[in-house]
């Protein structure tokens, strides 16, 4: 998965058009979590230090192809100015932006308004891609979290400009690519989340690559019901039961399911709750976490791992009584010495931060959906577009 990077380009007298992932939470018009911005800084600073003019572009939220002030990147431009210690020029009008970019000096930085304010963005409109391409000489994709989207600003633009990866993109590929192609073994994966149907291809792919695959979260309920267990009022995908049976047959002993669960009499933090065997859920109760015996078994399996990939919570971790399983997995990864531990973004990344162990994880991906699609398909539209880019 090695690609040309920003280091392969002579940036003198060039403008970089950089697709970043600034899809950050805003509260009262202010950035409330700057993780994704901070992750982009190495690429931005490298370009600045090497004399490039830097034009950044990103989406924010889902404005559905219409201008919506609630999704403006203006607050992000202001925030980034503070992080870089110099003004970041905000470009609210794409039509006027090329002239503004040409006026930039080496080391200057500009940020384009939300790419999804344009109806053609999510349709990968080639004309819009050409408008984005008019903002520079070389395209730099540093938005791994959006690389699974074939949009004008992630894939289409690479057909017009020489295209290379940024440091964040390359870091994601280094870790995820190694886990996919040549992991140090034992290689253990843990998958959670709500639905089996969302992750069928991911499960099949991981079964072919891992030594053990631990299942938790709502998706485990479908596997349990497929075994003939009563699961009470638990979340279940009845139309995926045959799929779950097939996956269990394919996985054999490699696929590890909960042997006990934590159940509740309602979906609430103040619910009555207790651990029971996975085959002993009474009517009127629902599974909201993996149980203590399962936690102990999953911790035992993880202790011997040399490579771990984790995506998806083990239970409803946003409700404190049902966060035990998810936080246990996070802490197990943090305790591993000499192992490569990778968290595939999303809720798992949030759980690592909430449990205070994020700094002990080898790599936390910035793209949950992208990391899963990379595992499932082996490539992504935004990465494929970087292959064979003309020498910049």
369 as an active site residue: the answer is yes
Residues facing residue 164 across a β-bridge? 140
**DSSP-derived secondary structure letter, 283:** T
44, 170, 326, 341 from 174: Cα distances, Å: 19, 6, 26, 13
Which residue among 14, 19, 36, 225 is the active-site one? 36
**Cβ neighbourhood burial of 194 (10 Å; 0-12, 13-18, 19+):** middle
Q: Do 34 and 79 contact (CB within 8 A), yes or no?
A: yes
Which sign, positive or negative, has the C-alpha torsion 156, 160, 162, 167?
negative
Element (H, E) at 228: none
36 as an active site residue: the answer is yes
308 vs 13: CA distance, rounded Å = 43
Triad 170, 108, 10: Cα angle to 5°: 50
pLDDT of residue 167: 95
Instruction: Give CATH 3.40.50.1260 domain extents, the chain.
Output: 6-168, 176-376
Helix extents (H) in the chain: 35-49, 74-84, 97-102, 126-133, 167-181, 200-209, 217-226, 241-251, 292-303, 324-335, 346-354, 368-377, 381-384
pLDDT of residue 41: 97
Give the mean pLDDT per block of 10 residues along the chain (392 residues): 81 97 92 91 98 98 95 97 97 97 97 98 96 97 84 93 92 81 92 84 90 96 96 94 95 97 96 97 97 98 95 94 96 95 87 92 84 73 58 46
For domain 176-376, say whether CATH 3.40.50.1260 is its number: yes
286 as an active site residue: the answer is no
Which residues are CB-contacts of 96 (< 8 A; sequence separation ≥ 6)?
A: none
pLDDT of residue 173: 84
219 vs 206: CA distance, rounded Å = 15
Q: Give me the phi and psi of 248, to 5 degrees please.
A: -65, -40
For domain 6-168, say whether CATH 3.40.50.720 is its number: no
Which residue among 3, 195, 254, 306 is the active-site one? 195
pTM, entire model: 0.84
16 vs 387: CA distance, rounded Å = 18
Q: Do 312 and 347 contact (CB within 8 A), yes or no?
A: yes
Triad 78, 115, 105: Cα angle to 5°: 55
**DSSP-derived secondary structure letter, 240:** G
Residues facing residue 376 across a β-bridge? none
Which residue among 145, 166, 216, 369 is the active-site one? 369
Q: Do 195 and 237 contact (CB within 8 A), yes or no?
A: yes
Reference 226, options 202, 193, 260, 249; nearest CA is: 249
Triad 328, 36, 50: Cα angle to 5°: 135
Which residue among 232, 291, 346, 382 is the active-site one? 346
Triad 193, 191, 323: Cα angle to 5°: 60
């Amino acid at each position: 998965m090695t690609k040309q990077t920003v280091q392969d380009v002579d940036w003198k007298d060039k403008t970089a058009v950089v697709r970043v992932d600034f899809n950050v939470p805003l509260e009262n018009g202010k950035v409330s979590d700057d993780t994704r911005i901070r992750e982009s800084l190495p690429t931005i600073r490298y370009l600045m230090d090497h004399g490039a003019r830097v034009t950044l572009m990103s989406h924010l939220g889902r404005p559905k192809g219409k201008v919506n002030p609630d999704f403006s990147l203006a607050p992000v431009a202001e925030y980034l100015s503070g992080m870089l210690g110099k003004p970041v020029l905000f470009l609210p009008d794409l039509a006027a932006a090329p002239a503004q970019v040409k006026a930039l000096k080496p080391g200057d930085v500009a940020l384009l308004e939300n790419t999804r304010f344009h109806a053609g963005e999510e349709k990968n409109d080639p004309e819009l891609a050409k408008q984005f391409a008019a903002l520079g000489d070389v395209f730099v994709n540093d938005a791994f979290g959006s690389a699974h989207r074939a949009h004008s600003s992630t894939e289409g633009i690479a057909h017009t400009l020489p295209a290379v990866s940024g440091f964040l993109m390359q870091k994601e590929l280094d870790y995820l690519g190694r886990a996919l192609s040549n992991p140090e073994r034992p290689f253990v994966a843990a998958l959670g989340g709500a639905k089996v149907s969302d992750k069928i291809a991911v499960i099949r792919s991981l079964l072919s690559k891992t030594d053990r695959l631990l299942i938790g979260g709502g998706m485990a309920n479908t596997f349990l019901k497929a075994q003939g267990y009563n699961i009470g009022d638990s979340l279940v995908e009845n139309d995926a039961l045959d799929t779950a049976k097939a996956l269990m047959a394919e996985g054999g002993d490699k696929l590890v399911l909960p042997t006990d669960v934590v159940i509740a009499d309602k979906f609430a933090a103040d619910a009555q709750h207790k651990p029971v065997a996975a085959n002993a859920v009474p009517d009127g109760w629902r599974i909201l976490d993996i149980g203590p015996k399962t936690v102990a078994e999953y911790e035992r399996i993880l202790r011997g791992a040399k490579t771990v990939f984790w995506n998806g919570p083990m239970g409803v971790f946003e409700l404190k009584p049902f966060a035990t399983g998810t936080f246990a997995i996070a802490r197990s990864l943090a305790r591993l010495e000499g192992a490569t531990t990778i968290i595939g973004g999303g809720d798992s990344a949030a759980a690592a931060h909430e449990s205070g162990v994020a700094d002990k994880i080898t790599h936390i991906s910035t793209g949950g959906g992208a990391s899963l699609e990379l595992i499932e398909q082996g490539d992504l539209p935004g990465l494929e577009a970087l292959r064979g880019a003309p020498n910049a």
